[in-house]
Amino acid sequence: MKRRDFLSRSSAALIPAAALASASAPRAASGGIPVVRKGQPTLKGRIWKAVKWSMIQPRDLSVHDQFRMALDTGFDGITITAPGVYDLKEVLEAQDKTGIPIHNVNVANHWKIRLTDPDPAVRDAALLETIDALKFTHDVGGSSILQVIGKVTDPVNENHAQVWERSTEQLKKALPTAAQLGVHIACENVANDFCYNAGLWKSYIDQFHSCWLGAFFDIGNLDRFGGSANWIKALGHRIVKLDVKDHNHDTQKNCALFEGHVDWAAVQSALLAVNFSGWATAEVPGGDATRLKEVAANMDKALGLA
C-alpha cells in the first residue's frame, strides 16, 4: 500500500456520534492501567501510535536519526511542525530511508500568529501559514494539520464570540485548499479558553459542513471538563485524531500516562463506541530511546493496543 493511501485510511471513521454527554459529569477517578479481558473488543489494529518530534532527545540529532529513533522505539509514525521548522528535502529523505511516515503537521506559529488576532493583517498572515502547513503536509504525505484556532485573550478585543467569528471566517478560506490537497484541518480547543463544552465544540465544527475539518482531540487536556470519555462519545465522527496524555485533577496539570486521573478503561470504551480508527500521538515528557520505549508501551496499555 502506498504511504498516502495508508495515511488517508487512518482518519476517523464516519459513524454517527453517540448522544451528547453532559459536560458537568463528575471528575474521573484515577483509571490506572486498564485490564483488557479475553474476548472483549479492543482497539488493537485500529489505532496507530505516533510521537511528536519535540519529544525525541537529544535535540541535536539529525532529522534522519530522529525518525530512526521514533521507529526503533515502537512508534508507527511521527508528527512534525511546519512551516519554517523543517527542510522539506531533508524530511522526505529521512522519511523514505527510515520508512516511518509523517501523519500530521502542527501549524508552527498558531499561538502567536493567530487566526483570531484583533489585527486583520495578523489574521491574514495566520491564514497564509495555515495554507502553507497544508501544502507542506501534502508534500510529505501526511493526512492532517493540527490547528489551534485562536485564543480568548480579553473580553473586549479577542473574546469568545470574536474567536468564533474570526476563526470561522479564516478557516472557510482555507478549506478549499484542504479539500483539494486531501489534508484534514484538525482543530484543537486546548488552553485557549474556547468551547470548553462538548455541545459548543460540536456546533463550531458542524457549521463548516465539511469532512475536511474536525477535531484533534486531546485526551488529557479535556478530561477536566466532564471527562474525556464523555467528550469522545459526544464528538464521535468529528474526531480526526488523538493527542494522548494524562491529567492530574488535583494539581490541574497535564502529566505522563498513569500519573493522573484519566479513566483509560472508559476512554477505550468510548473510542470503541464511536468506532474510532486512526492516529494517536503521544504528547508527554520525552527523552532518549529508553524513555520513548516506555512511552510507546504505556500508550499500548492506556489504549489497549498490546
Give per-residue pLDDT as tens, 6-26.
Answer: 444 344 333 333 333 333 333
pLDDT at 158 over 90: yes
Convert the pLDDT of each residue in 131-156 to its tens digit. 999 999 999 999 999 999 999 999 99
CA distance 91 to 102: 9
Domains detected in the chain: 3-20+39-303 (3.20.20.150)
The answer to whether the CB of 79 falls within 8 A of the CB of 52 is yes
The C-alpha atoms of residue 169 and residue 179 are separated, in whole angstroms, by 17
115 residue type, one letter: L
Q: How many residues does the chain have?
A: 306
Number of Cβ within a 10 Å radius of residue 72? 13
Q: How does pLDDT run across 106-136, given as a tens digit for each residue?
A: 999 999 999 999 999 999 999 999 999 999 9
pLDDT tens by residue, 65-96? 999 999 999 999 999 999 989 999 999 999 99
Residue at grid coordinates 470503541: 272
pLDDT by residue (tens digit) across 215-237? 999 999 999 999 999 999 999 99
Q: Is the pLDDT of residue 27 over 90?
A: no
Confidence of residue 39 (pLDDT cuts 50, 70, 90): confident
Q: What is the C-alpha separation between 61 and 129, in angstroms, rounded?
A: 26
Contact 80, 66 (CB under 8 A): no
- β-strand partners of 214: 186
pLDDT of residue 249: 95
Distances (CA, A) of 26 to 16, 183, 217: 25, 36, 20
CA dihedral 62, 66, 71, 74 (to 10 degrees): 150
Q: What is the pLDDT of residue 40?
A: 83
pLDDT for position 32: 67
